[in-house]
Amino acid sequence: MELAAMKTHTEKRPNTSLRGIKLAALVLGSSLVLAGCAGNPPSEQYAVTESAVNSAISAGGTEFAPVEMKAAQDKLKQAEFAMHEEEYEKARRLAEQAEWDARLAERKAQAAKAERAVQDARQGVQELREEGMRNAQ
C-alpha cells in the first residue's frame, strides 16, 4: 500500500516540475519579447512626424489651425524628450498623436485656403456682373 502511494506521489512531481519549467520559460520569453520591443527607438515614426509637422507649417497650419499645430508641436517635443529618456513606447505614441494633429492642421489649412479661393472667385464673378450691368446701361 505504501509503495502505491509513493509511486503516485513521484509520478505527480515530475509533471508539476515540468509545468513550472514551462511557465518559467513562457514568462522569460515574454519578458524578452517585451524588452526587445521597448528597446527600439521609434526613429522612423519620429521622422514621419517631423515631416508631417513641417508639411502642415508649409500649408499654413499655424495661421489656419493654430490649436492643432500647437498640439502637434508640443507632442513632438514631448516625444523627443521621451526618446532621450529611453521611454520608447511613450515616444512612439506621442509621435503618432503629433503626426495626426499635424495632418489635421494641414487639412484644415487646405480647406481654409480653398474656402478663401471660393470666396475670391464669387467676389470676382459678382464684380464682373456689376461691370456687365453698367456697360449694358
Question: DSSP for 82-120?
Answer: HHHTT-HHHHHHHHHHHHHHHHHHHHHHHHHHHHHHHHH
CA atoms within 13 A on the CB side of 94: 19
pLDDT of 14-69, one tens digit each? 555 556 566 555 555 554 444 445 579 999 999 999 999 999 999 999 999 999 99
* Mean pLDDT, residues 92-100 taken together: 97
pLDDT of residue 131: 87
pLDDT of residue 32: 45
Higher pLDDT, 16 or 116: 116
Q: Which fold is adopted by the domain 42-136?
A: Substrate Binding Domain Of Dnak; Chain:A; Domain 2 (1.20.1270)
The maximal CA–CA distance of the chain, rounded, in angstroms, is 125
Q: Is residue 1 pLDDT above 70, yes or no?
A: no
Sketch the domain layout of the chain as residue ranges.
1-38, 42-136
Q: Please list, in sequence order, all residues whose beta carbon lies within 8 angstroms of the beta carbon of residue 133, skipping any fewer than 6 positions away.
A: none
Q: Is the pTM of this model over 0.85?
A: no
CA atoms within 13 A on the CB side of 132: 6
pLDDT of residue 33: 45
Contact between 49 and 106 under an 8 Å Cβ cutoff? The reply is no
